[in-house]
Every structure is written in C-alpha cells, then in structure tokens.
Structure 1
Amino acid sequence: MSEFAPRPFLTVEDMNDTIIKNWNDRVGRDDIVYHLGDIAILHMRPEKEANERIFDILNQLNGRLILVKGNHDSRNLFKYLAKHNYTIDGHPKFEFHDVGVLIKMNHRQYYMTHYPMMMGIVKQIINLHGHIHHYAVPIKEDINVGVDTPEADYLKHKPPFGTPFSQQEIEEMVVQKQIDFAKRH
C-alpha cells in the first residue's frame, strides 16, 4: 500500500478490477462521465505499452469519458487515446480538455478542473476538482470529487470506491458543505 494514497487493496490489479466493477454498476453505455485528471499512473517502458494497458482499462469502462488533463497524465497518453478513439452512437468515447470544462446543471455552473481553483466568492459557480486526494479545500465553493475525497463524508450514502459521483450526490455534497461552513461562521 502506498503512503501517498493509502487504499485498501493488496494489488493494483485488485484496485483496478474493483473500480471497473463499481463504475460499470453505476454508469450505462451512453452515460457521460467527467474524469478530472490523473487517469492512470503506470511507470512502464516502452511508453506505448503503458498507453496500451491504460487504453485497455478505459475501454472496459461504460460510458463516454470527458477527460481533463491532470498532472500525471502525459500528452502522449492523450494522443494515444485520440488515435484509438471510437464512437458510441455517433459520439466519441473520449473527449479531451487541457484545463477544464464549464457546464450548467441544477441552476449552477460547475467548473470542472483537475486542480482546485480559487475563484473567490461566486454564488452560482462551484469548482469540482481532483488532485488533492485525502484533502478538502477550506472553501465552500470547491468540492473535491476524486476517489479519495473526504468530502464524500457529506453524503448520506457513500458510493463504493471508484464509483463516479452522480448529479444528485454532487448536489448533496455542495449543499452539505455550505451547511457545514454556515455552522462554523
């Protein structure tokens, strides 16, 4: 187990199998999932073999993936995925963004990035991010949605490890973090 991101798995393969199962239990073939960076860390040479293995794992995941580049994602991985991209009902399996994606949902704007953004107080903009693993930014408008997020504790029912958060779970985290901050101030 790594000290950097301790997880309850004996092997990486066991962790990957768990993530694939939990992901596919929630995500349908046509669903869209935003992955906010650090898709995979695989230190293997030649790099092409690492990219092939990562592609094989991503190919087992249901849905279309909108990938935001993280600090551990190489430009070559994105190029490899783009070269081997395919369509699902006329839409690409993978879509790529270097910095982030802004979407509107539930009367809010969500700026989805890899790194937490310090945008100041903007009522209807929430930053969904990854990068910081077991930590949360002490700003109510920033929500860590990585697999190791402590902000999943805001949920009544925490999804199994590796399960992408639903729209309802994101909204619950946003509301509960705001309530938590209001109690403190």
Structure 2
Amino acid sequence: MSRVFVISDHHFGHQKIIDFESRPFGSVEEMDEHMIEQWNSVVAKEDKVFHLGDFSFYNKEKTKAIVERLNGTKFLILGNHDRGRSKSWWLDAGFHEVSEYPILYQSFFILSHEPIYMNKHMPYVNIHGHIHSQKYEGQHYFNVSVEHWDYKPVSYEEIKSSLVASEEQ
C-alpha cells in the first residue's frame, strides 16, 4: 500500500543555504547526496510525495537527474524560488504534477509553500515550508521544511499523529 509524504525547501544546488540555515555540510555536493539518501530512506517507489516548494537551484538537466533518483511519485507546489521557471519546465524535470497555488488535501490540510494566514476559528491545518528552521505557534501550522525533519519527507500518518498529540496536551 502506498503512503503519502510531505517535505519542502531542499534547495538542491544552493551553496548559500548551507550558511543561511547552518546546515551541517561542507559542500553543496555533500548536502545534495545526503538529502537524496534521506529521502530514499523513508520513501518507497510506490509512495507519493508532495514537495512544497524551493526544490532546486540547478538547471533542468541536473534537476531532472535528482528527481529521477528520488523514490516515489512527486507533486510540486511552486515555492518562491521555483516561480522563475514555468510549470512545463518542472514537469519536464520529472514532477508528476505541478501546482502554482496551494491545494486542499483530504478536505482538511492546506498544502502551501508559504504559511497562510489562519484565524483560530478555521478548521484547517496549513502544512507549509518556506520559513526553514523557524516555527509558527499553534495547531493550525505544520512546518515541513527539511531542517525540522532530518532532511526526510514526513508521512501523513506522522503529521496526523502529531496533531492529535498536540490537541491532547
């Protein structure tokens, strides 16, 4: 049975992100390889992965080579660093589907790159990236930036369990 995962903000090929986010890598090549290994350590070929943006700073050829090495069927919601390239560019790079906008998943989760404003009366949970190692307070937000998850995609089961646990506190 296939599982569903979510992750964001890999920034493949982005040397400066190592310093910006204090990532523990000596080079962009080391970072890229580690992130590919971490992805494939939890995602199987038949799984689905929603990537919530800022995937790669490489050209199409290098980006496609990375996408091909990653397990699972991959869906991309464009992040601020992805928007300079067309939807067809990302499809050609190997993503199964690409969305320019946030999507509602299972009628409860809003998947977006940037956190979306939510008042305390909204019943949704916003699964997002963009803010890297920062965190929004409250039960309405779930940050899946790679820095929080040891560079591994997070399963929906883990997200749901985490939300239930935080409600019980």
TM superposition score normalised by structure 2: 0.80
- Partners of 1:122 and 1:30 lie apart in 2 by 37
Alignment of 1:8-157 (within 5 A): 8-42=24-58, 50-76=59-85, 78-83=87-92, 85=94, 93-104=95-106, 109-122=108-121, 124-149=123-148
Aligned-residue offset at 1:114? 0.2
Query: Match for residue 153 of structure 2?
Result: 164
Aligned-residue offset at 1:30? 1.6
- Partners of 2:28 and 2:86 lie apart in 1 by 19
Aligned-residue offset at 1:59? 1.1
- Partners of 2:122 and 2:115 lie apart in 1 by 17
The percent of aligned pairs where both chains have the same amino acid is: 30
Q: Tell me, which stretches of 5 or more residues in structure 2 are unaligned? A: 1-15
Q: Tell me, which stretches of 5 or more residues in structure 1 are unaligned? A: 43-49, 86-92, 153-160
Aligned-residue offset at 1:123? 5.7
Aligned-residue offset at 1:75? 4.1
- Partners of 2:143 and 2:109 lie apart in 1 by 12
RMSD over aligned CA atoms reads: 2.1
- Partners of 1:12 and 1:84 lie apart in 2 by 20
| Greater C-alpha radius of gyration | 1
